[in-house]
Chains A and B, each alone.
Chain A
Amino acid sequence: MIELHNVSLSYQHDTPALNNVTLNIAKGDFALITGVSGAGKSTLLKLIYAALRPTSGQVMVDGLNITGIPVSQIPRLRRKIGVVFQDFKLLPGRTVLDNVALTLEVLGWGKNDINRKVYHILKQVGLEHKIKSTPLRLSGGEQQRVAMARALVNDPRIILADEPTGNLDEASKEKVLEILKEANIRGSTVVIATHDRRLMGDWCKRLIVLDKGAIVENTDVS
């Protein structure tokens, strides 16, 4: 599903953020990418949804080589990928409903279908009662779950979650992981990037450890 072949990436000209990374995440995998802050986890995810292009090497996603993908093809790629951003990227002026609906609007869904689907996914993350709130009036954990709902609402083939348990308490962490696990069971390939290795549980099928932009461990733990 996701393949990187000898991928290196440098911002500007200093030391590379990713150094000769090769990995293969299979369809239906649940992968955990860990590493200390600055190891290159977010950078790696950005390569997958084509927010960055590798300096060298090849990136394949869902059978498509996206290394030099023309800009006009990027939307099609991103519609297959749900991303939970490290900084959420929620629109503060819009309601929770509007924020989550954006993913479906982009696909051209009708209003009624959107409302039904958004309500459904919000119920799944336990926030249906906040549907009319704006993100500014939500707690950090609630914002996290709205970001999650936006990424999951169109049942994407791939889910990339960047630090999805960031600063959540144990109960919220469990909830978030539960949601991702369910998505994985329904068929999505899930990749979590986190600095927190303790997150690893029996549901994890692949563990990838990054250090200074290089892979130091890549094990199939399923």
Chain B
Amino acid sequence: MSHEKKKKRPKLAREGFLGRLHYFIERALLNIRQNVLVNLITVGTISLAFLILSLFLLIYVNLERVTETWSERVQVTVYFDRELTSGEVASFSSKIRAAGGVSGITYVSREEAMRRFAQRLKGQEKLLQDVTPETLPSSLEIRLKRHMREGEAIAGFVARLKSMPGIGEVQYGEEWVKRFSDFMVVVRFAGLLLGGFLVLAVVFIVANTIKLTIYSRKDELELMGLVGATRFFIKVPFLIEGVLQGIVGAGLALLLILGAYSLFLHNADFLLSFSQAAAGLVFLPLSHCAFLLAGGAMLGFLGSLTSLKRFITL
């Protein structure tokens, strides 16, 4: 066919990686504009799913914060029946720090203990008559890092303290720590269960909505293949579309929840007023927001990818 060799091949306007990418993005946006209704429904459904998930995260994050402030009450006290020299304080402190997980150590001298005692008994000074600093113990108060404040960890820490020469009596609110630890186990388990369930639901909903939007265009997918499009060429605009739907859906959910937060929730201290430090709710940290957006993008991508596999026969 000689005429075909002579025929000049028109310059491909979109060669190179960036050119192709530009074409694909343009195509994806065009597809969205041509299927506005389907896209609105998809994005709406995705954002509803993400709304539920982020609401759950918001609650969980705040619950964690409350328990954080509660757990600050956990502290380990080592008692001594004599006054320590500053050298002894320093050497004990460094030994205790070496046991790990310590966030701070304060030495409470007999004088200081007396002062605190007096303060606590204000108005009932009569009771103090027989008490002199010599009858009170001096002590080292040890504050722990967050991960050390529960059950096993704190028990292990205390055991390590007790094995140190020169340390006799060690006390920590054992009962309270145990109850707190049990409570945290329940909270974490419930959180994990509910969170896992919600994530599954979101994955299912997003994947299926996207499958519907792709199903509604299966004729187009078929035809593209018939006129000689490669699988890659057919897929990419749909993948971009899916990623956009995921990001916009998740973003919309975050915006909605941010709106609700700044309207009502941020000063909802009545909810948690039993704890001063935790008054009011905090919003999701930036890392969580980024995680949700990335999750949306990934779900959109994977949802499109798996659905496309079903409808591209090529």
Interface residues of A, Cβ cutoff 8 Å to B: 27-28, 49, 51, 71-72, 74-79, 83, 85, 89, 91, 93-94, 102-103, 106-113, 117, 150, 155, 157, 186-187
Contacts and interface: CB of A to CB of B under 8 A. Distances in A.
8 contacts: A27-B1, A71-B314, A74-B225, A76-B228, A106-B224, A111-B13, A113-B13, A157-B1
Interface of B: 1-4, 7, 10-15, 34-35, 219-220, 222-231, 233, 314
Contact of A112 (B2, B3, B12, B13): B13
Contacts of B222: 89
Given A78-B225, A78-B226, A83-B226, 9 more contacts: A27-B1, A74-B225, A79-B227, A91-B220, A93-B34, A110-B10, A113-B10, A150-B227, A157-B1
B15, B222, B230 — most chain A CB neighbours (10 Å): B230
Contact of A79 (B1, B35, B228): B228
Contact of A89 (B2, B10, B226, B228): B226
Contacts of A112: 13
B4 A75 contact: no
A109 B11 CA distance: 7
A78 B227 contact: yes
Contacts of A111: 13
- Chain A contact residues, majority secondary structure: loop
Given A79-B228, A103-B227, A109 B1 contact: no
Contacts of B233: 75, 106
A71 B232 CA distance: 12
Nearest to A150: B227
Contacts of A85: 226
Contacts of B3: 186-187
A78 B228 contact: yes
B5 to A, nearest CB: 11
Interface hub of A72, A102, A157 (most chain B Cβ within 10 A): A102
Given A89-B219, A94-B34, A187-B4, A110 B11 contact: yes
B24 to A, nearest CB: 11
Contacts, number: 76
B35 to A, nearest CB: 8
A89 B220 CA distance: 9
Contacts of A150: 227
B314 A106 contact: no
Nearest to A106: B229
Nearest to A78: B228
A106 B220 contact: no
Contacts of B314: 71, 74-75
Nearest to A62: B1
B19 to A, nearest CB: 9
B13 A106 contact: no
Top-6 shortest CB links A-B: A110-B13, A78-B228, A79-B228, A113-B10, A106-B229, A108-B12
Contact of B7 (A78, A106, A155): A155
A38 B34 CA distance: 37
B227 A106 contact: yes
Contacts of B230: 72, 75
A102 B223 contact: yes
Nearest to A186: B3
A94 B35 CA distance: 11
Nearest to A74: B314
Contacts of A110: 10-14
A79 B3 CA distance: 17
Contacts of B7: 155
A39 to B, nearest CB: 22
A103 B231 CA distance: 15
A109 B12 contact: yes
Contacts of A28: 1
B14 to A, nearest CB: 6
B12 to A, nearest CB: 4
A27 B35 CA distance: 43
Contacts of B219: 89, 91
A78 B223 CA distance: 11
Given A75-B229, A107-B228, A109-B10, A89 B223 contact: yes
A117 B227 CA distance: 16
A197 B314 CA distance: 34
Contacts of B13: 108-113
A111 B230 CA distance: 19
